[in-house]
């Protein structure tokens, strides 16, 4: 039985800085997951991923990541994706201090 589709966001690493970015509904790459397009339809997810991956001169390695809707927009569901929204835990580096 095919698994039920769970909501997604599209994420990648910015080409020059390498930091985590999320694909917005208006085709921007945002450093905040809360601004990501929240995708609930599988066919739409596949299409948007193709569009995201085509933006080769802006990002590297776009993929679909599980997400849930929070009070301020999409949030990560897995701890790996949560880390990407924040930065490492051993130093105050990355998004936790830059955003």
Site for another protein, rule CB under 8 A = 13, 15-20, 56-57, 60-61, 77-80, 83-84, 87-91, 93-95
Judged by beta carbon, residue 21 or residue 39, the one nearer another protein is: 21
- Closest contact distance (angstroms) between CB of 97 and another protein is 11
Judged by beta carbon, residue 4 or residue 90, the one nearer another protein is: 90
Judged by beta carbon, residue 43 or residue 91, the one nearer another protein is: 91
> Which three-class secondary structure state does DSSP give residue 7?
coil
- Closest contact distance (angstroms) between CB of 53 and another protein is 9
> Which three-class secondary structure state does DSSP give residue 97?
helix
Dihedral (Cα; 45, 47, 49, 50), 10-degree rounding: 170
- Listing DSSP states for 9-62 in one string gives EEEEEETTT--EEEE-TTS-EES-GGGS--B--HHHHHHHHHHHHT-TTTEEEE
- Closest contact distance (angstroms) between CB of 22 and another protein is 14
- Closest contact distance (angstroms) between CB of 41 and another protein is 23
């Amino acid at each position: 039985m095919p698994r039920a589709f769970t909501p997604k966001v599209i994420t990648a690493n910015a080409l020059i800085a390498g930091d985590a970015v999320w694909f917005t509904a208006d085709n921007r790459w945002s450093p905040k997951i809360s601004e990501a397009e929240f995708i609930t339809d599988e066919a739409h997810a596949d299409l948007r991923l193709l569009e995201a991956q085509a933006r080769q001169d802006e990002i590297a390695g776009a993929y679909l990541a599980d997400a849930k809707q929070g009070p301020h927009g999409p949030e990560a569901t897995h701890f790996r994706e949560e880390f990407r929204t924040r930065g490492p835990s051993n130093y105050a580096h990355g998004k936790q201090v830059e955003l």
